[in-house]
Amino acid sequence: MRTEKFKLRTQVRTLTDRLVTALAILATLTVIAPLVAIFVYLLYKGASSLNFAFFTQIPKPVGEKGGGMANAILGSGILLGVASGIGVPIGIGAGIFLAEFGRGSKLAMGVRFTADVLNGVPSIVMGLTAYALLIAHKIPFLPFTGHFSAFSGGVALAIMMVPTVCRTTEEMLLMVPHAIREAALGLGVPTWRSVLSITVKTASPGIITGCMLAFARVAGETAPLLFTALGNQFWSSSLNETIAALPLQIYVYALSPYDDWHRLAWAGSLVLIVLIVLAVSLVRWVTSRGVLKGAI
Amino acid sequence: MPDFRIAQAQFQPDPGSPDGQTLIEAPAAEISEIRRFLLSRGSSAMADRGFSWLMLLCALSIFVLVALIALELWRGSQLTLHKFGLAFFYQAFTDPYTHLTMYWDPVNELFSARPFVYGTLVSSFLALLMAVPLAVGLAIFLTEMCPRVLRSPLAFLTELLAAIPSVIYGLWAVFVLVPLLREHVNPLLVKFLGWTTLFNDNNPTGLGYFAAGVILAIMILPIISSLTREVMTAVPHSQREAVLALGATRWEMIRMGVLRNARIGIVGAIILGLGRALGETMAVAMVIGATPEINRSLLANGSSMATVIANEYAEAVSNMHLSALTEIGLALFIVTVIVNALAQVLIWAVTRGTPAQTR
C-alpha cells in the first residue's frame, strides 16, 4: 500500500516537472513570436518601401506620390548631436566619479540609485521639463529659448542620455583590473592622468558602445520631442527652429489616412531599427571579449 | 633626451606633496637644467583636485536633474493645484445641458484626471497580468532549462525586444495587432467572457484598453524577464545542489531552491515593469483610442495619463489646460519615482553581495 502511494506520488511529481518544462518552453515561444512578427513585418514592409528617394527627398504634399524623409534623418542627426554633446560628457563624468572616486561611499550609492530612478522616469516627463525650462519663458542671454526649437528637443533627449551613459560607463570601468591602475600610480602618474589615459582608455571600447546604445535608445524617442522639436515638413538645420525627427515623422505618418505615408513610416522604422540592432549587437560583441568580458 | 628620462624617474616629485613648493622657492641660480624641465611640468596636485571636483560635479548633476524636473513640473501646475487641489484626481463634472458625467472640458476649463488615472491603471494592470507569467517562464527557461547553445541568442533576442522604440511598437500595433484583435480575439473574448460585463462589443475599431494592455505587455516583458534572470542567476549554486541532493525534480529544485530565494527580486522586477508600463506613451497613444471617458468594458476606447499629455500639450488652448496637463505629468513623475525606487531597493536586496558575473 505504502509503495503504491509512493509510486503515484513520484509519477505526479515527474508529470508536474514535465508540465512546467512544457509551460516554460511555451512561454519562451510566446515571447519570441511577437518579436519575430515585428521584425519580419518591418523587413517586409520597410524593405519594399525603402528606396533612394527616401534618403534624398523631403516629404511630398498630400496626394503626390513619392517623397522621402531626408529632412527627418538630418533633423534626427542634429537632435542627437545636441543630445550627445550635452549628455555624453556629463554621463561619462558621473560614471568616472562612481567607479574611480566615490567607490563604496554613501554619495556614490545615492548617485547610482538616483540614476537608476531617473532611468525609469517616463520620457514624456523629460519633454514637459524641457518645455517648462526652455520654451515657456525666454531665458535672458540664452539663445534658442522662448519658443519651440531643435535645441530644446536636444536638451530633453540629453536628460534621458545621462543616466544610461553614466551607468554603462561605471560598469565598464569596474571591469578594468586594479593592477593596471596600481601600475600607473606606481610609476608616479598623477591620478587624473591615470584615470583618463589608463582606466578610461582600457574601457573605451565599452564606454563608446555604451554611448552608442544610449544614442540608439534616444534615437527612437518620440514623446519628448512632441512639444519641443515639434516636427517640420521642410528642410531645417537651425537649432533655433522647429525640426523634423525620424520617430516624430513615423508617428505622424502612421496615424495618417494615406497609404503612401504609411509606406514611408515603415521605411523610417526599418532605418531606425537597423541603427538600434547595430548598436545593441556592437555592445554585445564588445562585452563578450577581452577585459570587458561580462560587463553589462 | 635619455638622461632626461632617467632624471625624471629619479626626481619626479610626489604628486600632492609640498615638494613642488620648496623647489620653487630655491634660488634661481641653483636650478639645474633637469630640474627646470621638471618644474616646467608643474605640480599635478591642482590638476588632480580639479579633475575630481569636475567628476563630482557631473555626478551631482544627476541630483540636480531630478530636482529640476520636480521643480519645473511643480511650478507649471500651480494653476490647477490651486483651483482643484487633490480633487483634481477624482472629481467628476455634470454637463449642464445633457446631464451626462464628464471629466475633461478644456473649453470651459473643467479638468479632472480621473479617466486618465483609470486608463493608466487598467492598461498597466492588464499588461502585468499577461506579461508576468510569460516573463517568469522565459527567465526560468533561460536560466535553468535552456541548452547552452540557445541561451545567448535567446537572451540577445529579448534584449532586442527591449531596444525597439515605442513608436515602432505603436506602428506595428496599429497595422498588425489591432486588426488581429478586432477580427479574431475580441469576438472570442465577448463570446466567452462577455458575462463578466468586462468585454462589450460596441467598439468596432479594435482600439481601447485591451489593445493597449497587449502592446504594453509585449513592451515590458523583456525588462521583467531580464531582471528576473539576473536575480535568479544571483542565487548561489549550492542552494540548487542542496535541493537536488534531497531527490527533488527539476521543477521542485526551481521552486524551492531558486524562486523562493529570488522572490523579492522578482517582485522588484515586476514593479520595475509596472513603472515602465505606467509611463509608456507613444505605443499606448496610438492604440488606446484617446477618449477622456471611463468605460467598464475593456474593449472600449479610453485614455491614459501619458497619452493625454502627448496628444494635447502642443495644442493646449489655455494656461489652465497646460497646467492641468503638467499636473498629470507631475503625478506621473512622482508615481514612477516611487515605483522605481521601490523596485531598485527590492532588486538590490537580492543581488547585493554577488560579484558582477556573466549574465
Q: What is the pLDDT along chain B (359 residues), one digit of tens a residue?
A: 344 444 444 444 445 444 444 455 555 566 777 767 666 666 667 788 899 999 999 999 999 999 999 999 999 999 999 999 899 999 989 888 888 888 998 888 889 999 999 999 999 999 999 999 999 999 999 998 888 888 888 888 887 888 899 999 999 999 999 999 999 988 888 888 888 888 877 788 889 999 999 999 999 999 999 899 988 988 888 989 999 999 899 999 999 989 988 889 899 999 999 999 999 999 999 999 888 989 888 899 999 999 999 999 988 879 999 999 999 999 999 999 999 999 999 888 877 755 443 33
Residue B44 lies in a domain: no
Number of domains observed in the structure of chain B: 2
Q: Which structural domain range is residue B297 located in?
A: 77-351
d(CA A275, CA A76): 12
Angle at B190 between CA B186 and CA B191, to 5 degrees: 115
Closest alpha carbon within chain A to B162 = A217
Task: Collect all residues of chain A within an 8 Å Cβ-Cβ radius of residue B336.
Answer: 120-122, 125
B2-32 pLDDT per residue, tens: 444 444 444 444 454 444 444 555 555 667 7
Would you call B72 and A133 a contact, using CB atoms and an 8 Å cutoff?
yes
Domain A56-292 sits in which CATH superfamily? MetI-like (1.10.3720.10)
d(CA B254, CA B232): 10
Residues B237 and B190 occupy one common structural domain: yes
d(CA B199, CA B188): 10
Give the distance from CA B3 to its chain's centroid. Answer: 58
Alpha helices in chain B (DSSP H): 2-11, 19-25, 33-40, 45-76, 78-84, 114-140, 148-163, 166-172, 178-180, 186-193, 209-234, 237-245, 250-252, 260-279, 282-287, 305-312, 319-351
Q: Which of B58, B249, B358 sits opposite A94 (nearest CB)?
A: B58
Residues B95 and B1 occupy one common structural domain: no
Residue B229 lies in a domain: yes
Is residue B261 within 8 Å of residue B234, measured between CB atoms?
no
Residue B287 lies in a domain: yes
For chain B, give the number of residues: 359
Q: What is the ipTM metric for this complex?
A: 0.91
Residues B102 and B209 occupy one common structural domain: yes
Closest alpha carbon within chain B to A131 = B72
Residues B275 and B338 occupy one common structural domain: yes
User: Which residues of chain A fall below pLDDT 50?
Assistant: none
Closest alpha carbon within chain A to B358 = A294
Residues B228 and B306 occupy one common structural domain: yes
Residue B205 lies in a domain: yes
Residues B27 and B84 occupy one common structural domain: no
Residue B271 lies in a domain: yes
Q: Is B57 on the interface with A (CB under 8 A)?
A: yes
Q: Residues of B numbered 88-127 whose beta carbons fall under 8 angstroms of chain A's beta carbons: which are they?
A: none
Is residue A27 within 8 Å of residue B133, measured between CB atoms?
yes
Residue B253 lies in a domain: yes
Sign of CA dihedral A112, A114, A115, A120: positive
Q: Which of B138, B163, B251 sits opposite A217 (nearest CB)?
A: B163
Residues B191 and B325 occupy one common structural domain: yes
Residues B10 and B147 occupy one common structural domain: no
Is residue A279 within 8 Å of residue A212, measured between CB atoms?
yes
Q: Closest approach of chain A CAs to the CA of B248, in angstroms?
A: 9
Q: Which of A214, A116, A226, A156 is nearest to B163 (CA)?
A: A214
Q: Which of A19, A287, A25, A252 is nearest to A174 (CA)?
A: A287
- We report the CATH number of the domain holding residue B240 as 1.10.3720.10
Residues B20 and B124 occupy one common structural domain: no
d(CA B61, CA B63): 5
Task: Collect all residues of chain B within an 8 Å Cβ-Cβ radius of residue A37.
Answer: 172, 176
Cα torsion for B188, B193, B199, B202, to the nearest 10°? 50
Residue B131 lies in a domain: yes
C-alpha cell at B18: 609640498
Residue B72 lies in a domain: no
Give the distance from CA A156 to its chain's centroid. Answer: 13
Instruction: Please state the pTM of the whole predicted model.
Output: 0.88
Helix (H, G, I), strand (E, B) or coil at B53: helix
Would you call A32 and B55 a contact, using CB atoms and an 8 Å cutoff?
no
Would you call A94 and B356 a contact, using CB atoms and an 8 Å cutoff?
no
Residues B33 and B82 occupy one common structural domain: no
